[in-house]
Structure 1
Amino acid sequence: METVDLLLIHGAVVTMDAAGHIFLDGAVAVRGSEIVAVGPSGDLAVRFAARETVDCQGCAIIPGLINAHAHVPMSLLRGLVADQQLDVWLFGYMFPVESRFVDPEFVFTGTQLSCAEMIRGGTTTFVDMYYFEEEVARAADMSGMRAICGQTVMRLPTPDAASFDEGLERARVFIEQWHGHERIIPTIAPHAPYTCTDAIYREAAALCRRYGVPLVTHLSETEREVEESRREREVTPIRYAKRVGAFDGKCIAAHCVHATEDDIRLLREHHVGVAPCPSSNLKLASGIAPIRRFIEANLRVGLGTDGPASNDDQDMFTEIHLAALLPKGISGDPTAVPARDALALATSLGARAVHLDHLIGSLEPGKRADIAVVALGRLHSAPRYHYAPDALYSHLVYGARSADVRDVLVDGRFLL
């Protein structure tokens, strides 16, 4: 028998692999940070001797969830202001408050709170964009999570940089200091076309290409943003981003709520990861992203929570639920985004969106052991029918909640 470090047994294993394999009495074998085998419990129990065996009877074993866009230190601004549109919320409240209160301690403490919340809800990977990003990286590393950390740069003064030149230099130093970390990917995040310049995007893109990291930015979040971009630049924010080099390397574009058909073509051709944030987009009245169209167009599409100041949580189960329901409601088609596709947005498809599908997003041999174990027998999710293996997708998308998460692992290490 082969020896492994961990064997999760007797759970309903939802692999989210390309073939959609589900093992209703399944097991996952882990050695070090990697998954070495997935299959029926009986088969793996015969093949492997484990140093630790965990019984997952009555639970689903799923890939760790991926939050493709967040501002995690903003957990400390949760509930500060509500019922405002994005421009008023951002320029009237957030920027002034951040300029006064955001410092390294604020960022580190807010990130700690967010990491605890995300881990408790089954999220193992997040993509961040904020200030003093080295503190986000430090807190994420201490928590054991996987993260892409984007140092924000704007043409406006920010809490950590008086000018965009200072911001670019801060980003360069941050990337150099953290480059090569096993779980933390440091990068730069030009905030948005309406807060940046051509030079910021071009220099940010060059920095990302030099270090092989993805550029993170906001694009086409509101209808007003698109209208102003057309008026001032004669192109949409997404085409503008392409023009200034943001798509020359890997890119993760948050929101894209008002992407046109031409925009969608550009995003697909340049392999841009797209991260709609359903709760935040609804609360700020920014609109509803065309998630069904993104999937049909084979975009690299995932889901994000956005910041806790505009959500007000980091619950990926809620985002999955909304991603399944909203397209149905606006299209009149109950098959618009099936449950399996909705779950994929936070797992296998989400991994493609953040350019990490070679490592995470599905439970397959050779991938990292980023895993969530979800209890299935709670009052709000009982009974569970077994008329078809695919029924489990519906159970997880429409019935499960973040509080049902029992265990969470990253790189084979229990975080919960």
Structure 2
Amino acid sequence: MPEAPLDLLLLPTWLVPVEPAGVVLRDHGLGIRDGRIALIAPRAEALRHPVKEMRELPQCLLAPGLINAHGHAAMTLLRGIADDLPLMTWLHEHIWPAEGKWVDEDFVRDGTDLAIAEQIKGGVSCFSDMYFYPQTAAECVHNAGVRAQITVPVLDFPVPGALNAAEALRKGLQLFDDLKQHPRIRIAFGPHAPYTVSDDKLEQIRVLADELDAGIHMHVHETAQEVAEAVSKHGERPLARLARLGLLGPRFQAVHMTQIDDEDLALLVEHNCSIVHCPESNLKLASGFCPVERLWQAGVNVAIGTDGAASNNDLDLLGETRTAALLAKAVAGSATALNAHSALRMATLNGARALGLESQTGSLELGKLADVVAFDLSGLAQQPIYDPVSQLIYASGRDCVKHLWVGGKQLLDEGRLTRMDEGELIARAREWGARIASK
């Protein structure tokens, strides 16, 4: 029986599979069939296969699509609204009041669309979203063709879209049931933080997550103040409390973790938790420094996230990865900490592992979903090229993202969105900006 033709054959100058680690394949082809990677072979061999479409990608580095493991997508509409403030002032006096006044389904729809488009143009094929009206965010993800983990926000007080935690969980369970067969969307639980969710709600989330095999995504140890207040009020560190309540495990995604002592590290290792590092948000809010190299050396899975655009102020995961690599060296006091290849792994396969997607995406391997990004390294600022991964991490910006495919479907072609209208998105964002600024 003749071989079925490939739907698409990509022929880059460099192919970086991420797994195996540290490998750069020169003059290889990647073939896609039925949305999955069906071929990785030297160029001459790849060209012998029947193919429906072939794309030459000279001076391009082909890599797994980037994975933004933490963000608040709709907060793009609050970009720059309360800059240069410490976390609790920023949150209590500016962000929460603004959200209470403005956030509704239309806000979430327009803000999430804007965030998705920005991320696609930055090479992000998959992201985790932690925000209100998760059902609306899921609709945006479905329409845009991108991949996402949508988390159900749970807090002890009323939030946009839910009068209380019970209503949030009820709606979340319905969303989980509605989307459990969706090929690109996963639903997880998103208790906001230890200081905003009570023990009984956390125990309920643990039971539900166990029953549904769902992730738990939570801000933890974001600042020293958070940890100190927890010890003062409850006599234990927040991570220890979460361990006591049974939340820690391979599905637990601890966001930020700038404060880690020996006991914290032991808990993270024992329970095989993932950390989502958000360096630029932590720097901007002066929250602290996640000890990435120490975690990495201990065997803890560390992914990377941008956080929301209101505290970053962009969703540029490639830039975030460069910051993470440089910051890791400074924090560890070692120039060898978090090299370029490891940084790229943190932004791809480690993110997939954190979200429970490592068997499907995060690396370029046969049988995995064809979530693929092409970076153009032909520019003046990237020359000469000795190690293309080093040039990508240390000498390139998101403007070098040329193409993006998710499940074999092209969402970015020559830097242009294929399924979203960039001009319309900008106009809608400007309308929101004018409305919010007027008040």
The TM-score normalised by the length of structure 2 is: 0.91
CA distance in 1 between counterparts of 2:171 and 2:262 reads: 36
Q: Give, in angstroms, the shift of residue 147 of structure 1.
A: 0.4
CA drift of 1:354 comes to 1.9
Q: Could you tell me how far 1:128 is from its partner in structure 2?
A: 1.0
Task: Give the CA deviation at 1:22.
Answer: 1.8
Deviations 1:367-397 (A, max 9, x none): 1100000000112212223xxxxx1221111
The secondary structure found in structure 2 opposite 1:170 is: helix
Q: Is the 8 A contact 1:377 1:383 kept in 2?
A: no
In the other structure, the counterpart of 1:142 is 143
CA distance in 2, matches of 1:289, 1:107: 30
Contact 2:249 2:273 in 1 (8 A): no
Q: Which amino acid aligns with 1:401?
A: G
Quick one: distance in 2 between partners of 1:327 and 1:189? 27
How many residue pairs get aligned? The number is 410
What amino acid is aligned across from residue 35 of structure 1 in structure 2?
I
Whether 2:404 is the aligned partner of 1:402: answer no
Q: Secondary structure at the match of 1:364?
A: coil
Q: Give TM-score, length-normalised by structure 1.
A: 0.96
Q: Is the 8 A contact 2:340 2:393 kept in 1?
A: yes
- Tell me the equivalent position of 1:388: none
Range with greater deviation from structure 2 (145-154 or 198-207): 198-207
CA distance in 2, matches of 1:233, 1:155: 17
Runs of 4+ in structure 1 off by over 4 angstroms are none
Q: Which amino acid aligns with 1:403?
A: D
When the two chains are superposed, the root-mean-square deviation of aligned CA atoms in Å is 1.3
2:294 touches 2:332 (CA, 8 Å); kept in 1?
Answer: no
Letter in 2 for 1:18: P
Cα distance in 1, alignment partners of residues 184 and 383 from structure 2: 36
CA displacement, residues 53-84 of structure 1 (integer Å, 9 cap, x when unaligned): 01111100000000010000100100101111
Distance 1:136 1:290, change over 3 A: same
Preserved CA contact (<8 Å) 1:205 1:248: no
Query: Equivalent residue of 1:182, what SS?
Result: coil
**Residues 123-177 of structure 1: per-residue CA shift (max 9 Å, x gap):** 0010111110011111011111110000101001111122222222222222222
User: Residue in 2 aligned with 1:22?
Assistant: 24
Between 125-134 and 157-166, report the one with greater CA deviation: 157-166
2:14 is matched with which residue? 12
> 2:268, 2:181 → 1: CA distance?
27
1:30-109 aligned at under 5 Å gives the runs 30-46=32-48, 48-109=49-110
Q: Which residue of 1 aligns with 2:231?
A: 230
- Distance in 1 (CA, whole Å) between partners of 2:15 and 2:250 is 35
Shift of 1:265: 1.9
Contiguous gaps of at least 5 residues in structure 1: 386-390
CA contact (8 A) 1:305 1:313 kept: yes
* Secondary structure class of the residue paired with 1:309: coil
Determine the C-alpha separation between the residues in 2 that align with 1:181 and 1:252: 22
Question: Are 2:109 and 2:140, in contact at CA under 8 Å, matched by a contact in 1?
Answer: yes
Give 2:380's aligned amino acid.
Answer: L
What amino acid does structure 1 have at the position aligned with 2:324?
A: A
* CA distance, structure 1, for counterparts of residue 331 and residue 81 of structure 2: 30
Could you tell me whether the CA contact under 8 Å between 2:192 and 2:218 is conserved in 1? Answer: yes
Pick from 397, 404, 411: which aligns with 2:407? Answer: 411
